[in-house]
Each structure stands twice: as C-alpha cells, then as structure tokens.
Structure 1
Amino acid sequence: MNVEIAPGVERRLGALPASAEFLRQLDVAGIVDELCPVRAIAHLTHGQVIEVLVANRLSAPAPLVRVGDWAREWAVGEVFGIEADLLNGDRIAHALDAIAPQLDGIVGSVGASAIAEFGIDVSRLHCDMTSISLHGAHEDLEDGFPQVKYGHPKDRRTDLKQIQAGIAISGDGGIPVFHRAYDGGAAKSPRPSGR
C-alpha cells in the first residue's frame, strides 16, 4: 500500500505503522539509548537507527548500504520521523558496533518488556539445542565466545567440529524468550539464567 505524502509524491507504507507501534510498545529505542548513549551532537540516537533497521528487516530487507534507499521509497520519514539521508551505511554500522557489547542487556530488557506488555507466560519454558557442524580450520578463537569443538552432533558427523545453539520458548505460545550459542562440546539443553 502506498501513501501520498505530497501532491504527486508517494511512499510505500506496508506494515511500517504496525512495526513502529510494536517497537514503541517494547521501548526498543529507549532501551538501546539507555545502554548505548550517543554524543549530544548526533543527529540520530542508536535506538532510532536500530528501530528503523528492525522495521527494514520486517518489511523489505535491504543490504545495510541500501537502507537509506529503502527509507526514501518507504514512508520512514512519516512513520519514524527520520530523514532517509541520515541512514547511510556508516551510521548504521556505528549503531551496530555500539550495541554489540550490550546485546545481552538489550535482548533481556526488550524480552522483559515484551513479557510485561503482552502478558507472556514464562512459568514454563520448552528448551532445545541443536548443533551446527563446521568445516575448515578453527584456530585462534577468541576467549569469551563459544568455542568450536568436537561433540555429539545431531547430524552424527562426529568427524566435524561444531557449535551448539540453544533456544527456550514460552510454553503458552512458542514465543522465543531465550537463546544462546554454546561450545561445540556442550551436552545439555539451555537453562536460562538471570533473565
């Protein structure tokens, strides 16, 4: 669906209003901005950039360097109040770099907001893990990140190293509430802790 913003000027609207409303209900920009503040001279906060990036992923995913073009075609200015020219690849990369060290806090806070806002029952969680088999050399891995190791892969390729991915979903509707990557040798289902 298109919306006419001026005589002879149309922009695509699609699900942008719905996306914007959900993002505002969850306070995504506020959560990101609290954990990742910007300097006072910035034209956009990291939270504003991330909200638009989420809306892009939900409506018509574009490569990061093309998000500004997407914003010019879609009603991003009208729905989010953000000029498309401010959404260049460098600004988006800067926001992604800023949130990277705060991801656990952002995900946990947005998740807690969703639980409270939408009444998601988390008294019972269903947990599962899967393995991702990897080919090639995996040397000099950074400490503090899941390590590529031999384990008991689901595809029974014991000749390959792996990483494990775990997820926990709510028992009342299958809504993901927890996820994490684990060392390849991890053997148990994920147990959410601290969230």
Structure 2
Amino acid sequence: MLSERMESSNYIPTYSCLLVLLRNLILEREPVYGIAEWSKQFEPSMIGLLPDLVNRINDDRIGRSLDLLYDSDRGSILTELVVRIVRDFHISMEEFHNDSTTITFSGNYSEADGLVKRGKESLKITHGHNKDHRQDLKQLLWTLTVSADHSVPVHYMALDGNTADTDTHID
C-alpha cells in the first residue's frame, strides 16, 4: 500500500526504508545513524528487504523517506489501511475505546512551534500537564482510538503538548 502512495527512488523504495525503521523501533530502537549497521545483523528477508537492498540502507535515505512520509497524505494512507483491516478481518465498528498519553522530550525543539511547515501545520512541543509527572520536560499529547472488537487501532492524533486531555475525547 505504501508503495502505491509514496514516491520512491530507483535505488531503494521509500516504503522499504520506512519499514526497516519501524522494525528497528519495535525490536531495538537504534538511533537513525545506527540503523544501517543494525540491519546487517539480520537475514534481509527478516526485516523486509531483498538481499541486494540491505547495503543500500543508510541514515540519509531513512531521513529522505521520513520527509516523503511527512509530505504524503498520511490521513488517506491510514484510512485505507483501517478500511482494509476492518473489511478483511470482519472487525466490528460499533464501539470504540479512546485513551491518551504524553510523549516527553528533553532539549530544544525550536522548529516544533506549531507553525506551517512545507504546507502542513506542525505540532508544538511545549510544557503541559505531563502524565509522567515530569513538569520539567516538554511534551506532545498522543491519542489513540481502538475498536472494542480486538482493539484494532482506527484513529490517532498527535497534538500540541499543552492540549487539554479532556478535549480530545469529544473529537
């Protein structure tokens, strides 16, 4: 599905870079600059690569892939994915559960100021009511809505760090 929706270089498909990044986040959480070396410890097919592509993964390509993902219509991609899963696995959409959490950040994020970047409104990493009781750290608010039937994720939102949690349940 990503291959149909996202531009790719002839050298390595964008979706391949993104899926390697996702697998890394799930398995180990190496920094982006370490993913190339990390990926070499696996049989390429185990991380979704053809054998000749494992040596083409590097931090610049992953960065460009993330840029392409940012520029894509992520809402349509997620909607198509959810519709396919609901249809293929007969998931009931009668009842939903919603929850939120804060994602904390340390450091200076001057570009995460809520202003429009490349035609899209950016998020504002800022201080807010932190669920981890870390008032010293900046944050974003993350909400996730899942189906009551098998807890399939059907919607998410990343919101500015000072967004009130109670307002997100209405949306």
Same fold (TM over 0.5): yes
Partner of 2:155: 178
Question: CA–CA distance in 2 between the matches of 1:172 and 1:50?
Answer: 28
2:91 pairs with 1:105? no
Partner of 2:146: 169
CA drift at 1:164: 3.5
Q: What amino acid maps onto 2:90 in structure 1?
A: G
CA drift at 1:44: 1.4
Determine helix, strand or coil for the equivalent of 1:120. coil
Q: Deviations over 1:90-111 (max 9, x none)?
A: 1111111110122333333333
Question: CA–CA distance in 1 between the matches of 2:34 and 2:138?
Answer: 36
- Among 50, 69, 85, the residue aligned to 1:114: 85
Question: CA–CA distance in 1 between the matches of 2:93 and 2:58?
Answer: 39
Contact 1:129/1:166 (8 A) holds in 2: yes
- Among 4, 15, 23, the residue aligned to 1:55: 23
CA drift at 1:74: 0.5
> CA 1:154–1:34 in structure 2 vs 1: closer, same or farther (change >3 Å)?
same
CA drift at 1:151: 7.3
Question: CA–CA distance in 1 between the matches of 2:60 and 2:110?
Answer: 30
Question: CA–CA distance in 2 between the matches of 1:134 and 1:71?
Answer: 26
Q: Deviations over 1:159-180 (max 9, x none)?
A: x987533221111232322111
Question: CA–CA distance in 2 between the matches of 1:60 and 1:132?
Answer: 18
CA drift at 1:138: 8.6
Contact 1:148/1:161 (8 A) holds in 2: yes
Q: Deviations over 1:131-183 (max 9, x none)?
A: 5688999988233234568877768999x987533221111232322111234
Question: CA–CA distance in 2 between the matches of 1:68 and 1:149?
Answer: 32
2:35 pairs with 1:67? yes
Q: Identity over aligned residues, as a percent?
A: 22
CA drift at 1:46: 0.6
What root-mean-square deviation, in Å, do the aligned CA atoms of Structure 1 and Structure 2 show?
3.7
Question: CA–CA distance in 2 between the matches of 1:166 and 1:134?
Answer: 17
Partner of 1:142: 114
Q: TM-score of the superposition, structure 2-length normalised?
A: 0.68
Q: What amino acid maps onto 1:105 in structure 2?
A: S
> CA 1:50–1:156 in structure 2 vs 1: closer, same or farther (change >3 Å)?
closer
Q: Based on CA coordinates, which of the two structures has the bigger radius of gyration?
A: 1
Question: CA–CA distance in 2 between the matches of 1:139 and 1:117?
Answer: 43
Determine helix, strand or coil for the equivalent of 1:188. helix
Question: CA–CA distance in 1 between the matches of 2:59 and 2:8?
Answer: 17
Partner of 1:189: 168
Aligned length: 160
Structure 2 unpaired stretches of 5+: 116-120
